[in-house]
Structure 1
Amino acid sequence: MVVHPDFKLNGLSYESPQDLLEFTAVLKQQGAAHEMALASFLSEWGNSEDHIIATTSGSTGTPKPVKLSKAAMIHSAKTTGEALELGPKTEALLCLSSDYIAGKMMIVRALTLGWHLHVVAPSMEALTEYDSAYDFVAMVPAQAMHSITALEKVGTLLIGGGMVSNQLEQALQGVATKAYVSYGMTETVSHIALRRLNGAAASENYKTVSGVSLSLDARGCLVIEAPGISSVPVVTNDLVDLISETEFKWLGRIDNVINSGGIKIYPEQVESALEEQLDVPFFVAAEPDPVLGQRVVLVVESPSPDGRASGVHKDLFDGLPKYSRPKKIYGVSKFRYTETGKIRRNEILSLLQNYPKKS
């Protein structure tokens, strides 16, 4: 394990990797839950293996272990530092779980680039309850939304782990913090592209970090060439509008696309149009239709099976194109979420009466 000479962890410096690992052993025994997760990863990072085992988020299926090269993670850390201009002595806040790739990569970036890493529990209050200022913070969307009033303490904010709502993106227009949303997955060792959300450089398009090139497969899904990350192309299930080899606009996931009467409907775009109309958790999906093949349905978190108790009614859909309007509303008393805060769509759909289970 290589430790940059400028690296600090919660204000402490370490003369050697062995010193850091000795401190890690203490954390494993005496630390809080988030500190034990940090210690567990540092132990794995410092062992003799050339890889680590990470776990996918489980948003589109059962979480699964993935073997990631340590060299690829170091490469990813360097490209992030280059893309966001974050060098040695960057003051960074880790408020994500070290059990998942986003948290792990914050640690690798700090070790590799010589950051001063402050580690706190992964809570909504991670930024608001401390007075410290940071050059760089990574958060999930819910944390970022909760922290809007405290962002004056942050130079650069990276949001990942879920879709950025229109509400959050609009709120970010009023802050000086440079805010980005990331595109990536566990298999690509965190992000391979970034989209600026605010300021003069704001864009609807993602731009790749250094060394990454893009193409489309026969389905219209994104294919990622990242030699520093993977020896083979990474084929995704993400439908995109490819602007160039290094730039794209994300449309949605092919496994979510609804074919209604021959018209392709992207649930994520319908959700974006509806989010200002609904103040309860929801998502858009499909169910079989004898005439159209599939029809659009809306699933909301509601105590009543038709969503009425949450104020959901069909008039909300008047602004949508005809084929995009949900034909039925389902209410589910309590949504299920992954460990990283994403709705478990397939699990919820499988619980709905008369809805066919997905394999």
Structure 2
Amino acid sequence: MTPTFVTIHSRFKLNGTHFEHEELKEMAYNLVKEGADFESSAGEFLLNWLDDHAIVLVKTSGSTGTPKTIEIHKQAMVNSAMATAQYLGLEPGDTALHCLPSQYIAGKMMLVRALVLGLEIDVVMPTSEPVFDYEKTYRFCAMLPMQMQSTLEHLHNIDILIVGGSAVSKDLTAAIQNLKTKVFATYGMTETVTHIALKPLNNTVQNSYFEILPHVTISQDERDCLVIEAPKVTSEKIVTNDIVKLQSTTSFEWLGRFDSVINSGGLKLFPEQIEAQLKGKIKTSFFIASEADDTLGERLILVLEADNTSLETSVFDGLGKFEIPKNIYAVSKFVMTETGKIQRKKTLESIIR
């Protein structure tokens, strides 16, 4: 039987201590009043979770549009937690590490999973290089790619790691191949109550694809964009702007964003795929975009967060003829979202008029 949001699992522990409902409310209140910023945001969410309302308010990241606050049903969050547990084999009493900001959906869901599934969760400061008990074995953790990069030497003590927020580079993917840790990339958004699909990044002998979680169905629209139906977490069909190739009724390959596809001389170019090939070769932050061209319609450009545009031509080795940028621009500082994602359109406005 699926649990409800009003119940705290008997095996739930937060930083080593089990709390009943009223005890947890008191502890959360103390975190809000006296805790560090990351503890305060965790306390605020716990107070929201334990109140009499059936919904919580969650901020979207704003990486593909204007940030907004949306309502999410608590039971949808419970259902999402159960689907993740079923897919990954999480059990009551499993240990978990929480190193994400609790004000966004990914961080909130770590707390919900612990409450609902009965996990023993340790909460640490959500920095780019999280510090935790490196000798302790954790069954489950969620990280950003930069957190995974900075803690590579300690990941062997984590059994299952999900990573999201941005793409994992080829170099980082290569670096985790010999880890015993099972690492999965996530696909999802705030509206789908975090991920609805996972992709193995290591311990696989062939190209892997995103596999959907239980109670999710997928299809494509006329643009080849992913359409998601997940009645356990949202009553609305979600039409995304993500161009995908369906591999089966339960798996897909992500190709890129519809609103970022570049049509150069009739050829469709996916910036995200080109960026994946350049990651590790370009040491500063960058992204691929386009500008108008009288002949091609659009031409490919590279935007660097740097003082100048100087690059070794060898960084483009391996790219196709039309994938090599026709112009390079330098911007001293990219416009970013609160969650550290590049706001490409706003950044481009400063260089292309």
Q: Same fold (TM over 0.5)?
A: yes
Q: Confirm whether residue 2 of structure 1 aligns to residue 7 of structure 2.
A: yes
Mind listing any 5+ residue stretches in structure 2 that lack a counterpart? 1-5
- What TM-score results when the alignment is normalised by the length of structure 1? 0.94
What SS does the aligned partner of 1:244 have? coil
Aligned to 2:3: none
The separation in 2 between residues aligned to 1:108 and 1:34, in whole angstroms, is: 16
Aligned match for 1:162, one of 161, 166, 180 = 166
SS of residue in 1 equivalent to 2:64 = coil
Give the match for residue 346 of structure 1: 345
1:242 is matched by which residue type in structure 2?
A: L
Counterpart of 1:12 in structure 2 is 17
Q: Which residue of 1 aligns with 2:335?
A: 336
For residue 298 of structure 1, report the CA deviation from its aligned partner. 0.2
| Matched letter for residue 175 of structure 1 | L
- Note if contact 1:60-1:346 (Cα within 8 Å) is conserved in structure 2: no
Q: Which residue of 2 aligns with 1:182?
A: 186
Contact 1:124 1:143 in 2 (8 A): yes
Question: Distance between the aligned counterparts of 1:315 and 1:94, measured in 2?
Answer: 40
Structure 1: stretches of 5+ with no match in the other structure: none
Q: Which residue in the other structure is 1:99 paired with?
A: 103
Q: Which whole-Å CA distance do the structure 1 matches of 2:319 and 2:206 have between them?
A: 26
Counterpart position of 1:55:
59
Q: Give the Cα separation in 2 of the matches to 1:189 and 1:329.
A: 38
Deviation of 1:230 (Å): 1.4
What is the rounded CA distance, in whole Å, between the counterparts of 1:290 and 1:141 in structure 2? 39
Q: Residue 193 in 1 paired to residue 193 in 2? A: no
Q: Moved runs in structure 1, 4+ residues, more than 4 A?
A: 127-130
**d(CA) in 2 for partners of 1:284, 1:200:** 29
**Aligned partner letter, 2:345:** N
CA contact (8 A) 2:134 2:157 kept: no
How many residues are aligned here? 348
Q: Judging changes above 3 Å, is the alpha-carbon distance between structure 1 residues 179 and 64 closer, same or farther for their aligned structure 2 residues?
A: same
Equivalent position of 1:323 in the other structure: 322
1:134-149, aligned counterparts within 5 Å? 134-149=138-153
Give 1:283 deviation, angstroms.
Answer: 0.6
Change (3 A) 1:131 1:315: closer
Q: 1:100 to 1:21 in 2, by over 3 A?
A: same
1:202 offset after TM fit, Å? Answer: 6.2
SS of the aligned residue for 2:247 comes to strand
Which AA in structure 1 matches 2:229?
E
The 8 Å contact of residues 128 and 147 in structure 1, kept in 2 or not, is answered as no
Asked if the contact 1:195–1:202 (Cα under 8 Å) also holds between the matched residues in 2, the reply is: no
Aligned equivalents of 1:120 and 1:202: distance in 2?
35
Residue 217 (structure 1) aligned to one of 221, 230, 235: 221
RMSD of aligned residue pairs (Cα, Å)? 1.4
Task: Name the aligned partner's letter for residue 168 of structure 2.
Answer: V
**Aligned pairs for 1:10-89 within 5 A:** 10-14=15-19, 16-89=20-93
Q: TM-score if structure 2 supplies the norm length?
A: 0.95
The 8 Å contact of residues 237 and 253 in structure 1, kept in 2 or not, is answered as yes
Q: Relative to structure 2, which stretch is displaced further, 117-126 or 186-195?
A: 117-126
CA contact (8 A) 2:124 2:131 kept: no
Percent identical among aligned pairs is 45
Deviation per residue, 1:217-252 (Å, 9 max, x gap): 011100001110111211100000011221000000
The more displaced of 104-113 and 50-59 is 50-59
Partner residue of 2:240 out of 236, 242, 250: 236
* 1:174-217 Cα distance to aligned partner (Å, 9 max, x none): 21101101000000000000000111366431000111110000
Measure how far apart 1:328 and its partner are. 0.1
